[in-house]
Structure 1
Amino acid sequence: MAPPEENTGELPSAEEVVDVAAGSEKATRKPISTVVMVISMQTEALPLVNKFQLSEDHDGLLFPKGVPWVRYHGKYRDLNINLIWPGKDLSLGVDSVGTVSASLVTYASIMALKPDLIINAGTAGGFKAKGASVGDVYLASDVAFHDRRIPIPVFDLYGIGARSTFSTANLVKELDMKVGKLSTGDSLDMSPHDEGAILANDATLKDMEGAAVAYVADLLSVPAIFVKAVTDIVDGEKPTAEEFLQNLVAVTAALDQAVTQVVDFINGRCLDEL
């Protein structure tokens, strides 16, 4: 083994800077290889597991012992796809929805799998005032929280956590997808306080995971995109829970089709080609 180079404290030469920059540019031009999909409900996940012919990981080595998180993985065309579902709550047996589970599985998946891209796919409520209809599928352009109210200067902005998602102008154009802002909270219903915050966020969509996934992805510098299918009209006449359950299976089929189109578009492309 060669001895370590002595740190002389000298600045790198212009040639060395150019070499480093070229290496960084080359890395960004590398075709996308590993994709992590974060999907919160089993009903939303299983059609994509079947579509991409993914296998469940049974060795239990990827995640900490005892957690209910489930990984499905496989090769689809030139992509290594990992679909992560937070699993069922260990006490109540329902899907582990919401921001806490989404944050945890996103963090654990990034650390273990080092993905090139994260896709958070799932269902969402939509606002007819913004043009949304049941069955529409959107790519989220921006995300924010609507239920983290911290009325102290600067902390209020931290609570909202507004951020833009990874730009996919070519994907949007090629697939002719709808684009809208996404607002995230841990409740299926909408309180008056939440409604005001969602309006302030200028959101077309409302979900329970997106902004949490975006926060972790941003923290760890991993590009993330968000594909959301509308199950219910939040500002409509029907009760949200009733409409959500009524439309979940049918809308999941639309989500399945849209995610497949997105993955097919991603295959063979670099991040800056999206």
Structure 2
Amino acid sequence: MDHEPRQANHPHGWMMRCVLITPSFDYEAWLAALHYGALEAGLEMIVNHTGDLEPGSTEDRRLIVTTNKKFLNPAPDAHIAVIATGLVGAVAKTCELTGGSGIYAVIDAAELVVDALNYPNANIITEEATAAGRALEILPGLRVVAPTPSSGDMLGPVESAGAKALLLYANGLPDVGTSSEWLPQLFFYSPRREKQRERITSLDITGGPGLLVNGPQISLPPGRWEITVQFTLDDDAARYELALEWGGLPDHFVTMSVKPNHGGLFRAVMSFETDRSVRSELRIRLTEGALHGQFEFLGAQVRRTG
């Protein structure tokens, strides 16, 4: 996702009609619907995944369709639409489009979705507006029939967890109070004593201080974001201090220290505020050396609070 398109350097922008589609199982169906609508409107549809297009004029009749905002260079008076539907398939489709896999595809998918929903002056089309067979005016003079949603293929554990996390954006940018669940499959874990584990999420913390869990680097738009973290400690692990960090990469974090001195199930609630879109991350660190102890991470819930 680091390709820099050539036309992005055009000083004033030239694209007059742009459609940004978030990855989904419905992607090909939307392309077909847009192609038919473009033909009826006398437009030439161009699917652009490289950014290498020759600039046109204000009379340009091309309809530029892409999944990545980097490949758009709209004129100041351009008409722009964002289609953000079928997010259950966003991670799986991102694997196909970017070549990423596993957690890295979740990271890419979330960034594509948030970038699209944040696009300025765009007509945002979400699941609510797209009953199958309903005619929609995507751009002035461009009408399409919403495709029948696809259930897609069976999802693997990480893709399924990613789909659940991206429900945060099912109705567009989340309002205050909107939340989603971040399952343990979305996170990275310390390799310490990895071969002895029954579950990747259950760590023997014996050893020196260091990072136990971090992730998932899912993009969040501007706002105040609360995370509720769940984990267990046995009596041995509970005698050592943990530092929990929550915020946006690279360096916008709040920190909480935890040292309960008794085993059990624990919840920690933390909040940070950002004025820009960020890749969010939770980090749980062991701050001192441990002789014994078992720690298990049970996931987190994220909620917009402001």
Per the normalisation by structure 1, the TM-score is 0.26
Q: Which has the higher helix share?
A: 1
Q: Which has the higher strand share?
A: 2
Instruction: Give the structure with higher Rg (CA).
Output: 2
